[in-house]
Structure 1
Amino acid sequence: MIPESHPRYESLLTRELIVEGIRNGITSMQGLIAQGRGEAFDYLIGEKTSTCALQAERVTAAMLLLAKRPVISVNGNVAALVPGEIIRLSDIVNAPLEVNLFYRTEERINRIIECLRSLGAKKMYTKSDGLIPGLEHERAKVDTDGIFNADVVLVPLEDGDRCKALVEMGKSVIAIDLNPLSRTAQCAGITIVDNITRAIPNISKFAEELKDSEKDELLRIIREFDNKKNLNNSIKEIITYLSNHGNLMPP
């Protein structure tokens, strides 16, 4: 039992969620490594949502609301960390969920689907009858009615090569990645440099605020966003944080 008074409470809690995901057959062992890498970058932004991230999260909400065929991609870490939150976002923006794994087994796929459905997910693509061109690993397998034909894809905790392949298919790709220098972050059309545990609820909040907005207003929000500029500002925010708190980093 982790006491809430522990200075690393939130971080330790997310680690336990990943470990529990492994026990339940949802998360891969490699997911622990990915979680640790992300946690390290979260330290660099002070473990809080930056101004740049908030801007990207608001634009993401507008993009999902405008999309004709939006899909939210779910992997093992996403299912372990934010299952309820991702379902809520799916409902708000009418974007079905699709499970997609690098370390794919049918057992893991089915366990994640069962987990999401047990928590109330109703809109899901579950086939694997299509292949993303240019990929030779398991993440190439997608549902032809889902990610394959989507116009907008939200890809939390994504692989850089699949992000690039989705962009080359002509899709608008939104990534959540704590590393602003990663292939995924640099390739996506919208990059949210934030912890997924904060990002998904923030996107849902903005979607609720914007859902009754006129189409022209949503288009304006998207049009005024510059992802490269936002990424550069995200890096500057990291540098500023380190300059101000370099000797106070968490252990």
Structure 2
Amino acid sequence: MTEEVSVPESHPRYESLLTRHRIEAGVERGITSKQGLIAEGRGEAFDYLLGEETTDSADRAARAAAAYLLSAEHAVVSVNGNAAALVPEELVELADVTGAELEVNLFNRTRERIEAIADYLREHGAEGVKGLDADARIPGLDHERAKVDSDGIYDADVVLVPLEDGDRAEALGEMGKTELVVDLNPLSRSPQVATVPIVDNIIRAIPTITEHARELAGDPAAQQAAIETFDADAALADAKRRIREVEA
């Protein structure tokens, strides 16, 4: 869905314009909901305040997330419409490197959207995409994001939840799961309750997690060190400080 972008990479707003195009194309394809356009605009505003770059604290968070995924007994990457539209190939690569599964999970859920996203992920190399069965429910939620696969998110010990809903993030935490959240808003409930809040743009965060996973693979001691030295509260505080100190 990115081949129609005519903006040169040298354009100072190239990444932002590319992201907008992917979301727009996702809506046209039936992958992304119209509400996803609003969510993307909100995220872009925070990215601007954060300097549109991966901070040192976000990089450390990505490394910790990679370590958790690699050391998990059963890791699952939750995929919604925006995530699928923005980084489909990158999500598939992350799953391949870490051994995690991909599961489609939507707030505005229809069978057609679930199948469209699963098909789109398969087009980018995914195998065995979950989310179609929805034969289990996350306790305490009344909306459609409660529906998960019993052998997927419901059974997972570690879940990467990019662009997450705050109430589901809280509910997953109450189930005892280790949550890795990608969210540009450090004030949102999702990163506030996450084991690892990654305050970064998903188009940078997912490749960064994968890069760290490649480095940490096969080294349990390094994985444990990345987990033990990560401080979630410090990461959130750093992101908030970065926003407050942004220059006009």
Deviations 1:34-64 (A, max 9, x none): 0000000000111000011000000001110
Q: Which amino acid aligns with 1:85?
A: E
Q: Which amino acid aligns with 1:90?
A: A
Aligned length: 242
For 2:22, which of 17, 27, 52 is the aligned residue? 17
CA positional deviation for 1:125? 1.8
Shift of 1:216: 3.1
Which amino acid in the other structure matches residue 211 of structure 1?
Answer: A
What is the CA-CA distance between 1:79 and the residue it aligns to? 0.5
2:190 corresponds to which residue?
184
Tell me how far 1:19 sits from its aligned partner: 0.5
Q: 1:99 aligns with which of 98, 104, 118?
A: 104
Of the three residues 145, 150, 155, the one matched with 1:149 is 155
**TM-score normalised to the size of structure 1?**
0.94
Where in structure 1 are there 5+ consecutive unaligned residues?
A: 247-251
| 1:207 CA displacement | 0.3
Q: How does 1:40-189 map to 2 (within 5 A)?
A: 40-126=45-131, 127-189=133-195
Distance 2:57 2:243 in 1: 11
SS of residue paired to 2:179: strand
Q: Deviations over 1:178-232 (max 9, x none)?
A: 000101110111000000000000000000000021x233122211211012111
How far apart, CA to CA, are the structure 1 residues paired with 2:185 and 2:227? Answer: 22
Contact 1:74 1:99 in 2 (8 A): yes
* SS across alignment from 1:6: coil
**CA distance in 2 between partners of 1:159 and 1:13 (Å):** 24
Deviation at 1:76?
0.3
State the Cα deviation string for residues 91-119 of structure 1 (Å, max 9, x = none).
Answer: 00000100000011100000000111121
The amino acid of 1:201's aligned partner reads P
Please say if residues 216 and 222 of structure 2, whose CA atoms lie closer than 8 Å, have aligned partners that are also in contact.
Answer: no
Identity %: 56
State whether residues 95 and 123 of structure 1, in contact with CA within 8 Å, keep that contact through their aligned partners in structure 2: no
Give how far 1:139 is off: 0.1
- For 1:202-221, list aligned pairs within 5 A: 202-213=208-219, 215-221=220-226
Per-residue deviation, residues 116-137 of structure 1 (Å, max 9, x unmatched): 1121101422320000000000
Unaligned runs of at least 5 residues, structure 2: 1-5
Moved more, 2-11 or 200-209: 2-11
Q: Structure 1 residue 196 and structure 2 residue 202: aligned?
A: yes
User: How big is each residue's C-alpha offset from its partner over 1:141-198, in whole Å with a ceiling of 9 and x where there is no partner?
Assistant: 0000000010000000000000000000000000000000101110111000000000
Shift >6 Å, 4+ stretches? none
